[in-house]
Structure 1
Amino acid sequence: MKAEIRNSLYEQAKEWILEAGARIRKQMRDPLVISIKSNPQDLVTTVDEETERFLAGKIRELYPDHHLISEEGFGDNLNSMKGTVWLIDPIDGTTNFIHQRRNFAISAGIYHDGIGEIGLIYDVMGDCLYSAKKGEGAFKNEERLPQLREGAMLERSVLAMNNKWLIPNPVVQVEKMEELIRTVRATRTYGSAALEFAYVAEGIVDGYMTIQLSPWDIAAGIIIVNEVGGVTTNVFGEHVDILKKNSILVCNKKIHGRIVNDFILEGKK
């Protein structure tokens, strides 16, 4: 993608996402209509749906030749990343949105022929935008984020991971996850994959690993983390297929190999 096209697309996407965030904030005191999707932990609200409808409408009106992958049913059914593809999560962290009214984000990644060009993660209640354009660095609002620490050590690292790793799961033995937790300095859980990617990019946490994320959960974060020198793979250290669900490890390159080799592959089922 040419730089002038990328810049124009970035400015338009940023405008829409900030507008969508403002619309959500105006509805925060309104009663929520909540539905259960696949299970009681998989929730959706009318605000999720309205936000996705708003963004999808804007994209289709101005960029009718672009494609859309999204969570709440307004996207396309794609089997290829050819062309320009937007991957959108209108509210990443819906449970936080419902219970806390904070700690959720709008996430949008824009890819062209499979290459991540633009990433935007908007902390709606914090009014904080994490963003990146390919090859131009990553930013928190207008402040450029530094490259991730070269000298990171696993024993001094803070790792974002949820407690699903500590119950029987299809990925890795629980005992190896317990060993990993004992090895790192601390663990944290924030409840929004998009924000956890952003926090890795900012250096608030040194890594994030989770079970089974969808394309819209990770698309923006991958681009932003790439721009500060981080790495994103599946938990086995393999390339991420952006069109499929993946168990994800995103972190400082310094600790990536050790987590994969010493804990994931050693405990692989």
Structure 2
Amino acid sequence: MDIAIRQQIFEDAKEWIYQAGQQIREQMNNPYEIDTKSNANDLVTAVDKSTEQFFAEKIRGTYPGHSIVGEEGYGDKVESLDGTLWIVDPIDGTMNFVHQKRNFAISIGIYHDGIGEIGLIYNVMDDVLYSAKKGEGAYREQVKLPLLRDDVKLETSVLGLNAQLVCENKYYNAKKIQQLIRDCRGTRSYGSAALEFAHVAEGILDGYVSMRLAPWDIAAGIVLVEEVGGVTVQATGKPVNLLQNSTILTTNKQIKDRVIDHYIEFN
């Protein structure tokens, strides 16, 4: 993607993400409809839907040749990564939004011919924007994030883990995950994959593991983590497919192979 074009897209996306965040904050304490999707814990609100609709209208009005992948139904039917693709999660961490009124984010990843060009993760209630452009580094607000440390060991690492990983599961070996918890320094679960990616990029976490994430959960975070020298793969070590749900390991490169080789086993 041309640098000037990328910069203009970045500026537009940043403006829209701040506008959407303000709209969410204004609706926080108003009555709004809460529904469920795949199960009782998979929540969606009218605010999720109106926020995604806001982005879809802005993108289509400004960049009619671009495509959109969205969680709440306002995107396009996308079957390839050709062209410019906006991958949007209007509220990542809807359960936190509903129950805590914090610890959720707007996540936008912008890809061109399959390459991550722009990543934006906006912590709405803390008013903190994480951003990255390909080849230009990652930022927390106006502060450039340093490259991830090259001396990290698993025993001194803090990892983000989806809490369900410790439960018995027919698809993967939960006992291996429990051993990973014992062997690392500590674990955290924030309830928002986008924020956990941002924390890996910032060096607050040394890695994050989840066994089922959608493209909109991870698209922005992949760009952020890559720009600080980290890596994102499926939990098997294979490349991530942004057109389908995936297992995910995003991490400091120093511990990637050990986590995959010793702690992730599928039944």
Q: Which residue does 2:147 correspond to in 1?
A: 147
Q: CA deviation at 1:167?
A: 1.5
Q: CA deviation at 1:53?
A: 0.5
Q: Cα deviation per residue 1:134-179 (whole Å; 9 max; x = unaligned)?
A: 0000000000000001000000000000221112224421111111
Q: Does 1:100 align with 2:100?
A: yes
Q: Which residue does 2:240 correspond to in 1?
A: 240
Q: CA deviation at 1:202?
A: 0.3
Distance 2:137 2:119 in 1: 11
Q: CA deviation at 1:259?
A: 0.2
Instruction: From the superposition, tell whether residues 98 and 148 of structure 1 become closer, same or farther in structure 2 (CA, over 3 Å).
Output: same
Distance 2:12 2:178 in 1: 45
Q: Which residue does 1:178 correspond to in 2?
A: 178
Q: How do residues 202-221 of structure 1 correspond to structure 2 at under 5 angstroms?
A: 202-221=202-221
Which residue identity lines up with residue 60 of structure 2 in the other structure? R
Q: Which residue does 1:128 correspond to in 2?
A: 128
Q: Cα deviation per residue 1:68-102 (whole Å; 9 max; x = unaligned)?
A: 00000000111101000000000000000000000
Distance 2:243 2:132 in 1: 21
Identity over aligned pairs, percent: 56
Q: CA deviation at 1:31?
A: 1.4
Q: Does 1:193 align with 2:193?
A: yes
Q: CA deviation at 1:258?
A: 0.4
Instruction: Find the residue that maps to 1:201 and give its secondary structure.
Output: helix
Q: CA deviation at 1:116?
A: 0.3
Q: Aligned-residue CA RMSD in angstroms? A: 0.8
Q: Does 1:89 align with 2:122?
A: no
Q: How do residues 111-122 of structure 1 correspond to structure 2 at under 5 angstroms?
A: 111-122=111-122
Q: Which residue does 1:15 correspond to in 2?
A: 15
Q: Which residue does 1:268 correspond to in 2?
A: 266
Higher alpha-carbon deviation: 13-22 or 24-33: 24-33
TM-score (norm 1): 0.98
Instruction: From the superposition, tell whether residues 204 and 41 of structure 1 become closer, same or farther in structure 2 (CA, over 3 Å).
Output: same
Q: Which residue does 1:27 correspond to in 2?
A: 27
Instruction: Find the residue that maps to 2:68 and give its secondary structure.
Output: strand
Q: Which residue does 1:49 correspond to in 2?
A: 49
Instruction: Find the residue that maps to 1:22 and give its secondary structure.
Output: helix
Distance 1:22 1:245 in 2: 30
Q: Which residue does 1:157 correspond to in 2?
A: 157
Q: Cα deviation per residue 1:164-216 (whole Å; 9 max; x = unaligned)?
A: 11122244211111111100000000000000000000011100000110010
Q: After TM superposition, where is structure 1 displaced by more than 3 Å over at least 4 residues in a row?
A: none
Which residue identity lines up with residue 88 of structure 1 in the other structure? V
Q: CA deviation at 1:29?
A: 1.3
Distance 1:107 1:174 in 2: 29
TM-score (norm 2): 0.99
Which residue identity lines up with residue 129 of structure 2 in the other structure? L
Q: Cα deviation per residue 1:30-69 (whole Å; 9 max; x = unaligned)?
A: 1121011111011100000000000100000011100000
Instruction: Find the residue that maps to 1:23 and give its secondary structure.
Output: helix
Which residue identity lines up with residue 176 of structure 1 in the other structure? K
Distance 1:55 1:169 in 2: 37
Q: Which residue does 1:253 correspond to in 2?
A: 253
